[in-house]
Structure 1
Amino acid sequence: MHRCVINLDEVELHSFPPEHAPSGAAAERFAPRIGMLGRPLGALKLGYNLIALAPGKRAFPFHSHRVNEEMFFVVAGQGEIRLGDDRHALRAGDVVACPAGGPETAHQILNTGDVELRYLAVSTQESPEVCMYPDSGKYAVMVDGEGGFRTVGRPEESLSYWEDE
């Protein structure tokens, strides 16, 4: 049975498990703690997460979604969002829309304050999903469900459709 109401004060936050945690230089920049809300509430078409960031940290690499739309609601603290070529200050109460698209919708949240930044991330949950990472020139393809799959690469490393056939 799912709960119909969860207060954000009750959400247990977790770091990435070791097999998915940032490593090397990325470990210094990225350190989100994430609390899952959607599934415990019984959500079927939207994902909800509470994200907490320590001062100076980012949640995820600068990226855009080709399929899913995201919305962020800042609950506490202050920071900055990179959105396309622009940067915008964030503070408690701010709402940001990140529709699916190309580099113009790429986004990344950073904690530029001196206290923890907390925000609610809400997104559609369409699969398959393709994400683009303008800073690194990478892409990711993810397919959920049984037999799910994830791959990360760069367009110039792509194999020919007919290779090894």
Structure 2
Amino acid sequence: MPRTFKMDDIPFETKEAGLSAFSWQTSPHLGKIAGSKHLQFDIRSLEPGKFSFPYHFHRAAEELFQIISGEATLRTPEGFQKVGQGDLVFFEEGATGAHQLYNHGDTPCIYLDIRTTTGIDVCEYPDSGKIAILPSLEVFKSDAKVDYYLGEECVAEKWSAEMLKRKNCRAD
């Protein structure tokens, strides 16, 4: 069933990040309210002088912003550009889709944030060397990467000698 959201009826809540540079208002998860299985979408309001989320990219999600009102400066791997009312900006998966907004204006920058979701996503933060597992938001330092087989050297000790001797048998 189609679902219409009227801007005047959407409640906003302030999201404080613990650092004063990062603060925004967001709608409740409109995608969940609408019953969406693969899209997440929210209306966000970025106040003057504030940054959106830290500079980041997704490994398993695409993202699309439509600026509803106001303006902001968009940071991408290509540099900085101003975006404003009516602009539509697409971010692909991977490092080439890295992005961050800063509201350089005098009024809130209100934008629609649409994201694909197919379960677990990995988000990378190039400035701070972090990796986050989403949606649980488990954050790790990326310099802690290890070899895939680290700690597996004694795998046979986890198995009983009897289990290791068994062979595939067929009943005749």
Provide the TM-score with structure 2 as the length reference: 0.80
Q: Percent identity?
A: 29
| Alignment partner, residue 22 of structure 1 | 17
The answer to whether 1:122 aligns with 2:107 is no
| Alignment partner, residue 169 of structure 2 | none
When Rg is computed on C-alpha atoms for both structures, the one with the higher figure is 2
Q: How does 1:142-161 map to 2 (within 5 A)?
A: 142=134, 144=135, 149-158=136-145
Structure 2 counterpart SS, 1:156: helix
CA distance, structure 2, for counterparts of residue 35 and residue 61 of structure 1 = 19
CA distance, structure 1, for counterparts of residue 75 and residue 145 of structure 2 = 28
- CA offsets, 1:24-78, max 9 Å, x none? xxx2210011103212222221011000011010120000001100000000101
| CA shift for structure 1 position 3 | 7.0
> Does the 8 A contact of 1:38 with 1:47 survive in 2?
yes
| CA shift for structure 1 position 122 | 0.3
Q: Which runs of 5+ in 1 are unaligned?
A: none
Structure 1 counterpart SS, 2:27: strand
| Alignment partner, residue 8 of structure 1 | 7
- CA offsets, 1:60-104, max 9 Å, x none? 0000001100000000101111111311111110000001011x2
Aligned residues: 151
CA distance, structure 1, for counterparts of residue 111 and residue 103 of structure 2 = 11
Structure 1 counterpart SS, 2:138: strand
- CA offsets, 1:95-154, max 9 Å, x none? 00001011x211001111001110000010122111110111111122x5xxxx442112
Q: CA RMSD in A?
A: 2.0
| Alignment partner, residue 55 of structure 1 | 48
Misfit runs of 4+, over 6 Å: none
2:78 to 66, 71, 85: 85
Structure 2 counterpart SS, 1:9: helix
Q: Which runs of 5+ in 2 are unaligned?
A: 155-172
